[in-house]
Structure 1
């Protein structure tokens, strides 16, 4: 038999050892079971991968109070749209049944593009413009076997959306030759060639939007001729024509566009520096310091628009235009039109 002093010493040492809570003990036993299981390969490569993939799935629940807006990228898979509310999500439901209806009040079909799971989740695998609209789900259930069935009706508004096209627009002014002079036309071509060479390695292109010559009355001075240039810098694969032309890293269009902007800003700054160091008289055509202005511009494809007030959960998205609106060109606004009855109208 141990002496009393040894017993007390041993108990004191054991009390210092960290003890696992029941939850930790459970996971430890589960882990040891998996290690000992002959099907450990199945768990690691199949079952665990499935758990990870399911954890990444975005899910939306309905609301008693208002239709829930859900945004689905065009031609992509939708999030899982659950026919249930947040309050009922973690509640046991007896004999639940789910019935989904399309915007034209027909039963949602089960095909390669859309599926309703056994638990009532609506999933689109290739969301198209025509799929936009108000979907209704009817949930019938009991909380206990003895009670009367309850029916809950939930509405979801599904919108197709795309990422906006974008570019930088530059305006700059040059002191020029007389407005009818051929030298102005020649200078314009050379300027565009230089700017294009600056950004070509970034897979960006320069587009001349407008070039105008005006007579400008200077403050407390006479008239002078000025060229007003407006040009755009566009990432090649971000345009509306042709496939992705990006072949050189980095391929992120925003990063390349910002680098192109910095190069162009430096080019105009260097023009000022060269003129300040020049000892000879100024040339007939030269950049007017401080006139360079740069604006970031977003564009949506026809039938889509941006509206942060209407779509606060997707403020930077080009969302398909609602019935009663349309967008005929590559702008960012869906315009009012009472005769347009479909989503994504391009004509009024």
Structure 2
């Protein structure tokens, strides 16, 4: 969350979910895996994750014989369908009502068979896909600000600047009225045109921080503090604390 002085606002990077802008993201809201390194995904607090596909784009474009899927969540727990975890028969995963504690590594193993045309010999292939999911917060009241907007940050920034202009206009008119329509017993009010300014204050809520090195594709996002770090107040970064073993820690025990 990045408030401005004098005016309270909710500023965030993307509506609903922050995804990598790459071929891993499809127009249908699917995020495909990639072999060899994790795909980083940023989900808004209490929003659903995008649809995670246990397959890379190249494999998705080919015929896959007898596929099976196995999902493992944070702390290496095997994932099964429940009120928060939705796993389809085709290996698609959606995490509902995302919270800080749900952040972490999600791994899917895809197993399928290949058949040699000459000998009809079957071979089982296994591929592993890693998704690092981080929660990204917003403050109460964001829905009322972003009802008809596809980008909440643009909407709130526009509203803040519009409010600034109206406040400046108010002071300007007040100065004119007092100087021209009231008797001299009222103290004079002086206002310098365009002197009203809004100062940006960059901070995050407790348990969240910014880390350009770890989250280079979401450098301006306030992302949940990873295990080993914490953020007790409205600081911008998560501080190191080796005794912290959870996401979103607000203190160092």
Name the residue aligned to 1:105.
76
Mapped pair 1:295 → 2:196: no
1:290 CA drift (Å): 8.5
1:80 CA drift (Å): 0.8
CA distance in 1, matches of 2:77, 2:213: 31
Query: CA contact under 8 A between 1:302 and 1:328: conserved in structure 2?
Result: yes
Alignment of 1:263-278 (within 5 A): 263-266=166-169
Mapped pair 1:347 → 2:226: no
Larger radius of gyration: 1
CA distance in 1, matches of 2:196, 2:159: 20
Name the residue aligned to 2:40.
69
1:288 CA drift (Å): 8.2
Q: Specify the SS of the correspondent of 1:143.
A: strand
Change (3 A) 1:103 1:237: closer
Mapped pair 1:158 → 2:123: no
1:287 CA drift (Å): 6.7
Name the residue aligned to 1:91.
62
Name the residue aligned to 1:147.
122
CA distance in 1, matches of 2:189, 2:215: 48
1:72 CA drift (Å): 1.7
Name the residue aligned to 2:107.
136
CA distance in 1, matches of 2:190, 2:209: 40
Structure 2, unaligned runs of 5 or more: 1-25, 146-154
1:269 CA drift (Å): 5.8
CA distance in 2, matches of 1:310, 1:265: 40
Residues 245-279 of structure 1 deviation map (CA, whole Å, 9 limit, x = unaligned):
x8xxxxx64443222211333456678989x99xx
CA distance in 2, matches of 1:270, 1:104: 61
Alignment match of 2:159 (pick from 244, 247, 256): 256
1:120 CA drift (Å): 0.8
Q: TM-score, normalised by structure 2?
A: 0.69
Query: CA contact under 8 A between 1:99 and 1:139: conserved in structure 2?
Result: yes
Q: TM-score, normalised by structure 1?
A: 0.52
Mapped pair 1:116 → 2:87: yes
Query: CA contact under 8 A between 2:168 and 2:194: conserved in structure 1?
Result: no
Change (3 A) 1:147 1:111: same
Larger relative contact order (Cα-Cα within 8 Å, sequence gap ≥ 6): 2
1:319 CA drift (Å): 1.5
Residues 142-176 of structure 1 deviation map (CA, whole Å, 9 limit, x = unaligned):
1326232111122111111123x6xxxxxxxxxxx
CA distance in 2, matches of 1:160, 1:300: 13
Change (3 A) 1:266 1:308: farther
Query: CA contact under 8 A between 1:92 and 1:143: conserved in structure 2?
Result: no
Give the structure with the larger strand fraction.
1
Structure 1, unaligned runs of 5 or more: 1-54, 166-235, 247-251
CA distance in 2, matches of 1:298, 1:60: 30
Mapped pair 1:320 → 2:224: yes
Q: Specify the SS of the correspondent of 2:55.
A: strand
CA distance in 1, matches of 2:141, 2:76: 40
Query: CA contact under 8 A between 1:77 and 1:125: conserved in structure 2?
Result: yes
1:141 CA drift (Å): 1.0
Alignment of 1:1-348 (within 5 A): 57-144=28-115, 146-163=121-138, 237=141, 253-266=156-169, 293-348=197-252
Query: CA contact under 8 A between 1:326 and 1:335: conserved in structure 2?
Result: yes
Q: Specify the SS of the correspondent of 1:148.
A: strand
1:333 CA drift (Å): 2.1
Query: CA contact under 8 A between 2:164 and 2:197: conserved in structure 1?
Result: no
CA distance in 1, matches of 2:176, 2:37: 61
